[in-house]
Amino acid sequence: MPLMDKPLEELRSYLPDREEPEDFDAFWTETLAEARRHDRPAVFTPYDACLTEVNVFDVSFPGFGGDPVAGWLLVPASATGPLPCVVGFLGYGGGRGFPYEWLTWPSAGYAHLLMDTRGQGGSLQPGATGDPHGSAGSSSPGMVTRGIQDPADYYYRRVFTDAVRAVDAARSHPSVDPERIVIAGGSQGGGIALAASALADGVTAALVDQPSLCHFRRALDVVEGNAYREIWTYLRTHRDSAEQVFRTLSYFDGVNFAARAHVPALFSVALMDDICPPSTVFAAYNHWAGPRSIRVWPWNRHEGGGYFQDLEQLRFLRALRSDGPTGLDNGPLHTA
């Protein structure tokens, strides 16, 4: 297919105004304070995954409203001290699946906590976390429009809160160095990663691939696929609700989180992506407040760099690791 968005030269300088509510920071401060009042500790139950070189734990931690959220924690069996930990988030529809699907990071010497996404896991890998909260209004099929009439009721308020609490859970495990946390995710997981990078404690670096949930107005102007299609379908029916919908989405826009994230980040973008259009990715990338670099995949669609990008990420984190006891280092990066 031909390129479906702006030319790369324009994308590199694309810096749209942020649509941000005045109480954005207060909204998230209050949301996370309420979530942390459910201070039940995370539970790590040893799990027999038939793996000899990786120790696996079935994780349960309190997320939004204290709801139990599942995950996997994988730790190299040879670890002798606290390790940097990659906290990962999943694409739309995916669940945590099986431990042997997630061996890259422990094979490279990192602990890896993978968060299950509440209410999902029915269309890709199986999930293990429900979403017990209903929404006051109607929605289109899927998750993206649940509670979209009110930021306090919106589905991703719960998911992003879960993500911050996943970082809290990872930092509480004795095999994890609480000051060496890497956030990682692609597509929906990339949008969650943007939020967690800005909101969670102890984050040292971020890996963000083809993030969704960014620059919503532009996304809806350019594509109608996957999650954005659900919003378009909702607006097509609720013709008088557009401004309220976009107000709600402004509390969850990855561009606004990117402007609050100060750690080194590696992004990736695919120029033929018709699910998460390149201009929305560059909107978040160009607003990122910390050191940043981006890997551009000119000929790919939403699959992006795939295993090639995995290698880029491994190299990126290796470059950030020092020889000293502090592990990941926040030194400057070259901007692509």
Q: Which residues are catalytic?
A: 187, 273, 302
Q: What share of the chain is helix, strand, coil (3-state, %, to 5)?
A: 35, 20, 45
Number of separate helices (H) and strands (E) present in the chain: 11, 9
**Whole-angstrom distance, CA of residue 55 vs CA of residue 113:** 12
- Calculated CA dihedral for residues 12, 328, 183, 212, nearest 10 degrees: 10
277-302: burial string, b at 16+ Cβ within 10 Å, e else: bbbbbbbbbbbbebbbbbbbbeebbb
Other CB atoms within a 10 A radius of the CB of residue 49 amount to: 17
Strand order in the sheet with 111-115: 43-47, 54-62, 68-76, 111-115, 83-89, 176-186, 203-209, 265-270, 292-297
User: Residue 133 in contact with residue 166, Cβ under 8 Å?
Assistant: no
The three-class DSSP label of residue 288 is coil
Burial class (CB in 10 A: 0-12, 13-18, 19+), 26: exposed
User: Residue 218 in contact with residue 248, Cβ under 8 Å?
Assistant: no
**Whole-angstrom distance, CA of residue 37 vs CA of residue 65:** 9
Identity at 228, one-letter amino acid code: Y
**Whole-angstrom distance, CA of residue 336 vs CA of residue 328:** 21
